Amino acid sequence: MKLWHRLALLAVIPLVLQCYLLTQVKTAQEELDRAYIEERRQKDVVIVIGKAVKAGMDSLSDIVSYKSKRTALKKERSIHHLERMKKLREDMAAIAGTERHMQEVQAVLSEIEETVQSTIDEDENDVNLRDLSKTLRFTKLGRSALSIMEHAQIQQELKYKQMLVVVQAKRKHFDELALQSAILCAVVTFGIAGYVIFLTSKQLKVLKQNSENLARGEKLLPQMKGADELADVDRTFHLMAKSIKQLSERERAILKNSGEWIFAIDSKLRFSFVSDAVQKLLGVKPEELLGQHVANVLGGATDAIEKARTIGVDQVFETKLAGDNNQNVEVQISVHWSDSEHAYFCVAHDIGARKELERMKQSFMAMVSHDLRTPVSANLLTLDLLKSDPSIGNLSDRGKTLVDRSIASNNRLMFLINDLLELERLDSGQLSLDLELVTFNDLIDETLPGVEMLAKAKDITIERDDSNQFIYCESGRIVQVLVNLIGNAVKFSPAGKKVFLKYGKEDAVSKILVVDEGPGIDKESLPFIFDKFKQVKESSGQHKQGFGLGLEICKKLVELHGGSLLVRSELGSGTTFEIRLPIKEV
């Protein structure tokens, strides 16, 4: 039974019962009211009979006194009593029944009325009112009226007493019915409420127990039967428990098979959870670390871990740990502090292989720097001497051409070696900057000598802004970036075009723009413009000479300044490179 069915049952059945009982009570009330009305009527009939007979007797008495004493007042009083008796007869006819004694009362009152009225009429016609027979008639009529009145009053009083019994019986029936109705309503209401409360509380207890079991990770009670809402909630609890179990099993499987060492630390810096990967990483069983202070394992890394809590930012740091056979294990640890759990959640990644690769890379770059750069430099020196020193011998024109080609090839190789070494220094963080305030004009003056010859060779005009605004940078590195960007602009622009060098300022950023009128860069190539070894094609589809390292070096140098290098371009509309550097107030 659904909850709304229970609520409807709790509300509708008592309501229907109350309506029925109210109908019965109303019927009993109506019967009681009728009995009260009848009781009052009987009482009123007795009173009216007495008043009517008294008025008739007073009228007879006054007319007899008038006949004997001839007092006008007596006559008027007799007429007054007669009129009052007529009115009372009308009232009695309206409220009295048709019983025989009531008919006898009406008859004697009617006879009194006729007798008194006829006597008054005879007096007006000067008839002798001292007739003894009339006096006897008056006396007899009075006695008859009194006798009938007594009989009628006795009958009415009997009916009144009977009605009192009926009224009392009706009142008792009404009181009993009202009491029974109240008791029945209360019993039914409390019975239904008790049933609903019992059924609902039983289900709520099951839900409460299941929620506690779910929180503790224990098995739930058997699933509730039924189609009501609480049974639906219980089914949801079981589905939730099933999902949590599956997720827990999946989590355990992930933690067990993960190559990363995952662990949790409580607020007192003690291990509260350790994944199985620690055994492979450090040669220690997980249960051996539980409850231990992190300083016993991580050493001085505890300060870096606590930073995640004190400054509220996740921490990532590298450290060395003592592994199996006292071998150092290089790891990178990521730390997250949870306010709700009051615990640190950490992941330790073995970076030994990566570090070894970096060391190999550095060794390779050192080899490139020494074992390749030195022979190339020697080759360039030898070729230059071969070309310029007559004491060595004269070269034929073809020999000179071959020497020039060899010098060009060695220069290209030297440029590649220098670019690779520059990238390595940038990637490894070995390059530092000596920042200073330099004006825009000074930067451009220092840059132009390195690109003017190339621009003149292609008949490219370089136009510049005239600005003495300060730019916070290392001038040598930004000049290196500008030479590369302007060189590319000249290289990709058709002969006779212009290259513009502009200065701008936006909020807290200085902007240096290199704008050309070249063919532009297609949308497909634009996202990869700063990628290593990526070269942009000319409109003819051919690659320009180079290795595709220059723009990446430019981007990294600008970012090392805390700035950014942006590019905007469309085919046929030229290209704009924008150097954005933070402003430092003078």
User: Of 586, 579, 449, whose CA–CA distance to 502 is shortest?
Assistant: 579
Contacts of 5 (CB under 8 A, 6+ apart): 228
CA dihedral 490, 493, 499, 502 (to 10 degrees): -90
Nearest-5° angle of CA 28, CA 30, CA 33? Answer: 110
pLDDT per residue as tens, the chain (586 positions)? 565 566 666 677 777 777 777 787 778 777 777 777 777 777 787 788 788 878 888 887 887 777 777 677 888 888 888 888 888 888 878 877 666 767 777 787 787 778 878 877 765 544 444 555 655 666 676 677 667 667 766 766 777 677 777 777 777 877 787 788 788 878 888 887 887 788 788 878 888 888 888 777 778 888 888 777 778 888 887 888 888 888 877 777 776 677 788 899 998 999 998 888 888 888 888 888 899 999 888 887 888 888 888 898 999 998 888 887 777 888 999 999 998 888 999 999 888 887 777 777 667 666 666 666 677 777 777 877 777 776 666 777 787 788 777 877 776 667 666 666 666 666 666 677 889 999 999 999 999 988 888 899 899 999 999 999 999 998 888 998 999 899 989 988 999 999 999 999 988 899 999 999 989 888 888 887 887 656 655 444 444 444 567 788 889 889 988 999 999 998 888 999 999 999 886 5
Task: Give the tens place of pLDDT for each residue, 105-155.
Answer: 778 778 777 887 887 776 554 444 455 565 566 667 667 766 766 776 676
436-582 fold:
Heat Shock Protein 90 (3.30.565)
DSSP code of 452? H
> What order do you get walking across the sheet with 271-274 strand by strand?
271-274, 261-266, 343-350, 328-338, 315-322
Q: Position 302: which residue type?
A: T
Domain 258-350 has CATH 3.50.50.60: no
Domain 3-192: assigned CATH number: 1.20.120
Task: Look up residue 508 and give its DSSP letter.
Answer: T
> Are 319 and 331 within 8 A, CB to CB?
yes
Q: What pLDDT is recorded for position 128?
A: 47
HSE-up of 466 (CA within 13 Å, CB side)?
0
* Total number of residues shown for the chain: 586
Picking from 545, 500, 542, the residue whose alpha carbon sits closest to that of residue 518 is 500
Chain-centroid distance, C-alpha 122: 108
Ranges of each domain in the chain:
3-192, 258-350, 359-427, 436-582
Q: Cβ distance 80 to 25 under 8 Å? A: no
Give 525-582 pLDDT, tens digit per residue.
888 788 765 665 544 444 444 456 778 888 988 998 899 999 999 888 899 999 999 9
Q: Pairing relation of β-strands 328-338 and 436-439? A: unpaired
pLDDT at 400: 77
- pTM comes to 0.42
Amino acid at 145: A
Please report the pLDDT score of residue 556 as a whole number.
87
